[in-house]
Amino acid sequence: MGEYLNPANLLTSSTLACGFLALILATEGELGWAAAAVGTAAGLDILDGVAARPLAGGGGGFGANLHSLADLLSFGAAPALALYLSVLQEIPIAGIAACLAFVVCGAWRLARFRLVKCPGRFVGLPIPPAGIAVVLLAALGPPAGLALAATLALTLLMVSDLPFPTSSPLDGRTPVDDQPLE
């Protein structure tokens, strides 16, 4: 297990912990704090990328898999639950469907990420900004119809083929891809 202990994986584990904390806070009705936990996860997500750069190309897929799991919880499940509990429960069937679609499409986006390499851009909206937008909707509490429309739009953008720019020196790959850079 010691070979997996490195700064990047510890930061990714902290991202995962923030996502779980956001779930608890959302169920307690503390939507502002849940949004803050997701925001903290976003900051840690950036830091784990910086910490993982020296590890790129080595160590197998552990870091990449852990990173995807942390992203799915922190930027998929936690924001979706917060949004459902805040406003989308007013329209239960559509609200559940939209939140479920958000989580599933976020997972598809994460799974596709390692397969699609496009220099200088991401294909589809990355899950962290989508999750931040959804948890902010939860904290702000807009009308249910507006929240539903925004969630569906973000969901579709994640699985779209639209290009989104990246400033990463890794050309759209996370450093935890554990694949050598060409």
pLDDT along the chain (182 residues), means of 10: 89 97 98 98 92 62 92 98 98 98 97 78 93 98 98 97 75 41 28
Helix, strand, coil: what percent of the chain each, to 5? 70, 5, 25
Give me the number of domains the chain comprises.
1
Local structure of 122: helix, strand or coil: strand
Tell me whether residue 107 is in a domain. Answer: yes
Tell me whether residue 172 is in a domain. Answer: no
pLDDT at 132: 98
Tell me whether residue 179 is in a domain. Answer: no
Q: Which domain holds residue 112?
A: 2-167
pLDDT at 49: 81
H/E run at residue 94: helix 92-113
Q: What is the CATH number of the domain that holds 106?
A: 1.20.120.1760
Tell me whether residue 178 is in a domain. Answer: no
The letter for the amino acid at 181 is: L
pLDDT at 60: 57
- Measured CA to CA, the distance from residue 176 to residue 182 in angstroms comes to 15
Tokens coding 51: 């910490």
Tell me whether residue 175 is in a domain. Answer: no
The letter for the amino acid at 20 is: F
* DSSP conformation letters of 130-171: HHHHHHHHHHH---HHHHHHHHHHHHHHHTS--EEE---TTT
Tell me whether residue 176 is in a domain. Answer: no
pTM over 0.75: yes
pLDDT at 175: 42
